[in-house]
Structure 1
Amino acid sequence: MPHVPRMPLALGLPLAVVTGLCMPVQGRINGALGEVLDDGLATAVVSFGTGLFLMILICLLVPSGRAGVRRIAPAIRQKKFPRWYLLAGLSGAFLVVSQGITISLIGVALFTVAAVTGQSLSGLLVDRLGLGPAGKKPVTIMRVLSALLTVAAVAWAVSPKFAAGSDLSDWLIPVLLPLAAGFMQSFQQAFNGTQTLHFGSPLPATLVNLAVGMVLLVAAWLVKLAVAGVGNPLPDEWWYYLGGPIGCLFLALAAVLVRSLGVLLTGLGMIAGQVLGSLLLDVVFPAPGTIITTATVLGTLLTLVAMVLATLPWPRTAFSPLRRKALVGARERNR
């Protein structure tokens, strides 16, 4: 396997937080577009289509993009990585579809909690299996605690919106979509990171990701078109079409970060960015029904604490006295 360049933690973690800021912005845009079109699949097609068009232009114009694209076929032929890693784009497609379908139903708050829960759990699993380019990372007590603390912190941050009131039956089933989408995100980041390692650039990996997702989305949308017909027309406002380019930036940065930080730590950093970004959006561009309380601010800060906690080493000698006592007791019982 090629050498994996290590990014300093002091640089990687803040960059992961900045990357996470892209998600609430993309979610707000895709959620608004899904509400206008009244069609989650059409929203995903528009988002992926604009992102794919942008990546094609970049890969044609940027030398590292052109060189990376030329490495795609040889890497596949030589089986540098499992070929099913190329299906990572299906996860991104599913996430965008879930944004378009559920955000207008359950809101950004509950969407974020569900997606964070899924991503935190799968981040531990993906690192333990070593599916990412950084290899296997142990599931330490610190990492488990930080993942659980992240979920609790995000739930606390958005708790005022839950208290604002909605019937449990209205969001219990729709929340399964972002939960599953969040769980798949860690796998997508690991697969894209591995492709980036072998392509030599995140640009071709992002291009493949978008192309694969676009094929699935167009096929699904054509089936929907044959059954239900054409939905609402596309809006004229330009900002509805920024979801795809923002997704490109997110995918490219995440693919670079997982090579050094691992999937879980990258995910926790981006989760902190998601919550911070959601708070900033609610302050600067509040949506209808926006609620900001002390719990919102403190819960957001707690996600940063959880992220830092994951970087701390768990002292191997922490339980040494207890371990020695247990060993002594076992020896005496065996006599």
Structure 2
Amino acid sequence: MAPLLLLAGAVAVLSGSMVALQARANGRLAEQVGAFPAAGFSFFSGLAALSLLLVSGRFRARLARVPAAVRSGGLRWFHVLGGVAGGLLVSTQTYAVPMVGVAAFLVAVVGGQVVSSLVVDRQGWGPAPAQALSRARVLAAGIAVVGVALTATAGEAAGGTAPGAGLEGAVLPVAVAFTVGLLASLQFAFNGRVTRAAGVPTVTALINFAVGGATVALIGSVLAATGWLARPSGLDVPWWAWAGGLCGVVFITGAAWAVQHTGVLVFGLLAVTSQVGVGAALDLTNPAMSDRVDTQLVAGMALAVSGSALAGLAAARSARRRSVSRAAAG
């Protein structure tokens, strides 16, 4: 059991790293082709990879369970739309990362997730029962928000060299990332319901990539029709800039396997820590972002991870109390 647990922990770290690598790859690609073309490529390349699973009759049977669950009322129609939040998240990657860096983007998203999880869990929108608000979880959300605020202005005093540096150039992208992070918890909740209906997380991943890709294509079409879509400036990008979609596939499949062996709490802590850590390392190797990795940004990262850890511990305590109550009632 111990070797399997260590392997699952390593996969959790790898999965979190994939989120940071995806953000860096998509951001680099966006610098050349524009935000929405880069987001679209990321989604549709991941969708193409996941579509290979359709050759399996067992996978197709699992996929058929989802529309059947919608027809029977086991799922609501909007539960399959979790990929909309994913589409917005990847689109925000391609917009925000070139301006503020990977680390600040990820801290903002994590902060939004911690805050929105209060509402999602309180309303019981996911597969788990509704959870009452606790002081610990509210405190965790507050800590995460402070971390986001610190990262939004990191590097300003040092004269950060990020494109568009300044109040609008730093705060606005972080605010957008935080807002999209608010939707991420809703996506996780809906995905949990779809996975429960399908029986395997790869079905949920395929549906997410399809819906997210459609979302990106719709927004991109509107921007193109109104003249707001930037034209590509070229395709002179390194090979790894095309790998954002595959990074997303690795994250989803790795997370689906690892969480079964580590539990949600341990997986979340390892993944979030590796996300922001790898994000900071990537920024340090990027000359346009290295000035932003200062003491203030590191403090913001630490607060975001602390808020996530406190929220996870509070959720674990709540789950133990519910388990004890059910055992006593039985």
Q: What TM bracket, shorter-length normalisation?
A: 0.7 to 0.9
Q: 1:30 aligns with which of 23, 26, 30?
A: 26
Residue 182 of structure 2 corresponds to residue 188 of structure 1 = no
Corresponding position of 1:231: 231
Q: Deviations over 1:286-331 (max 9, x none)?
A: 4434145556556545555444433546999xxxxxxxxxxxxxxx
Corresponding position of 2:290: 290
Q: CA deviation at 1:209?
A: 0.9
Corresponding position of 1:21: 17
Structure whose alpha-carbon radius of gyration is higher: 1
Judge conservation of contact 2:103–2:283 (CA < 8 Å) in 1. Answer: no
Change (3 A) 1:276 1:67: farther
Q: CA deviation at 1:47?
A: 0.6
Residue 170 of structure 2 corresponds to residue 175 of structure 1 = no
Corresponding position of 2:196: 197
Corresponding position of 2:326: none
Change (3 A) 1:11 1:132: farther
Correspondences of 1:30-179 after superposition (within 5 Å): 30-37=26-33, 39-57=34-52, 59-61=53-55, 65-153=59-147, 160-165=154-159, 166-179=165-178
| Stretch moving more, 132-141 or 119-128 | 132-141
SS at match of 1:163: coil
| Stretch moving more, 96-105 or 271-280 | 271-280
Change (3 A) 1:151 1:272: farther
Change (3 A) 1:265 1:137: farther
How many pairs does the alignment contain?
305
Work out the percentage of aligned pairs sharing the same amino acid.
33
Q: Unaligned 5+ residue runs, structure 1?
A: 1-8, 317-335
Residue 265 of structure 2 corresponds to residue 271 of structure 1 = no
| Stretch moving more, 233-242 or 121-130 | 233-242
| Stretch moving more, 114-123 or 303-312 | 303-312
Q: Deviations over 1:1-28 (max 9, x none)?
A: xxxxxxxx99988865553322221111
Question: Using the alignment, how far apart are the partners of 2:147 and 2:10 within structure 1?
Answer: 19
Q: Deviations over 1:190-248 (max 9, x none)?
A: 11111011100111111111111222222333344445488225456432221112122
SS at match of 1:69: helix
Change (3 A) 1:79 1:189: same
Amino acid at match of 2:48: F
Change (3 A) 1:16 1:123: farther
Question: Using the alignment, how far apart are the partners of 2:130 and 2:8 within structure 1?
Answer: 19
Judge conservation of contact 1:269–1:307 (CA < 8 Å) in 2. Answer: no
